[in-house]
Structure 1
């Protein structure tokens, strides 16, 4: 399938641009250790990483992560994560080259993530290509987050583009829902944190990629 080249590409962050699973897993491990509970492997945690602290704590604590405990457990998790959100994190293979190619083709790019601003801004300086992008919208930038389309509208505005001039690339159902609601062409990043329990065939993404550089093949 060959499509018209977009003027802008917006990306989810965790599971799409950056492989943050190892740092998130480290935080979960520390909290489980504190409570003397069995540990979860990185392989088990990786598919859940897009669901943030709540998803990971639910995986690790099971029924012990409930209305009575979740506030304290989430605070403990985020405290560990805030101390070092980047040392185990890296670009997915091909992302740096993809961003270089987008620059070369005069395609603007930006980030729309549900990750809170505190953690996003702590992470981006360690990845200069991301720190330099003109659009960054976080989970708490507005009073709504994905799957609501408003964060995508704001990111398009920051790029000086109309929503229908942008594509949205993400690895979770809420990404595809938000992109569709915003009137953007949606691309499922199948290399990201898609678990065996997910049903991506039902998400109705316009197209999908198995590795980052495949995005360029969609319009060349």
Structure 2
């Protein structure tokens, strides 16, 4: 069986290493407005960071349910991201063209710290043929399971039916991707992009690639 290849999304498939901070800021503002919550400027700044560090504390002070607030903010963040993709403000890397060829040769997956709703949208919008798609759940616990935790990679492997005998390659652009892929029992490929040129290659990365197009040759070598 050809080696399954799983891809990170931000910085590998989508241009840029992460969702725009402004998307999260707008999403938090929309969620607060829907919940009729009026935070102090300091609380708004903290919540706009869109992490869970002081989430419960601020939501308790504002009298809103943190789970409800988080789900709304995640939904609005997905809406904002999808609008940017539709408008062309954010696109795909040119070398993702190789995915069409790879999809004819082996199993492909998309496993990302980004929201599951957005991962599905990206696959549909750009017509990528992934056999499995797994993004983070729109919950507080889902956010905390992000890489370097291997949770979502392991879940994708389970969907593919190879969790008892993990094999494959995980492709990413940061050390957290290499850590998560290795913990899940996969080989890893660290891809050089503009945003990570100055970073050292992660020590545990199996391969270093300058372009996704190199995966075609690499798959030939691994299949021998």
TM over 0.5: yes
1:13 to 9, 12, 15: 9
Structure 2 counterpart of 1:171: 173
Compute the RMSD of aligned alpha carbons.
3.4
1:133 to 130, 133, 139: 130
1:115–1:215 distance in 2 versus 1, CA, 3 Å: same
- Provide the C-alpha distance between the structure 2 equivalents of 1:90 and 1:17, rounded to a whole number of angstroms: 9
Unpaired stretches in structure 2, ≥5 consecutive residues: 27-40, 51-72
1:70–1:81 distance in 2 versus 1, CA, 3 Å: farther
> Is the 1:12–1:175 contact (alpha carbons within 8 Å) kept by the matching residues of 2?
yes
After superposing on structure 2, the runs of 4+ consecutive aligned residues of structure 1 that deviate more than 6 Å are 65-68
- Provide the C-alpha distance between the structure 1 equivalents of 2:146 and 2:19, rounded to a whole number of angstroms: 23
Structure 2 counterpart of 1:205: 205
1:66–1:194 distance in 2 versus 1, CA, 3 Å: farther
Structure 1 counterpart of 2:150: 149
> Is the 2:116–2:135 contact (alpha carbons within 8 Å) kept by the matching residues of 1?
yes
Structure of greater Rg: 2
SS in 1 for 2:195: coil
- Provide the C-alpha distance between the structure 1 equivalents of 2:13 and 2:23, rounded to a whole number of angstroms: 20
Matches within 5 A, 1:95-110: 95-96=96-97, 98-105=98-105, 107-110=106-109
1:80–1:100 distance in 2 versus 1, CA, 3 Å: closer
Report the CA distance between 1:213 and its aligned residue: 0.5
Structure 1 counterpart of 2:20: 24
Matches within 5 A, 1:109-128: 109-128=108-127
> Is the 2:157–2:166 contact (alpha carbons within 8 Å) kept by the matching residues of 1?
no
Report the CA distance between 1:134 and its aligned residue: 2.3
When normalised by structure 1's length, the TM-score is 0.66
When normalised by structure 2's length, the TM-score is 0.65
Matches within 5 A, 1:22-61: 24=20, 27=23
- Provide the C-alpha distance between the structure 2 equivalents of 1:79 and 1:145, rounded to a whole number of angstroms: 17
**Larger RCO (CA under 8 A, 6+ residues apart):** 1
SS in 1 for 2:113: coil
Report the CA distance between 1:179 and its aligned residue: 0.6
- Provide the C-alpha distance between the structure 2 equivalents of 1:80 and 1:170, rounded to a whole number of angstroms: 25
Unpaired stretches in structure 1, ≥5 consecutive residues: 32-64
1:81 aligns with 2:77: no
> Is the 1:156–1:166 contact (alpha carbons within 8 Å) kept by the matching residues of 2?
no
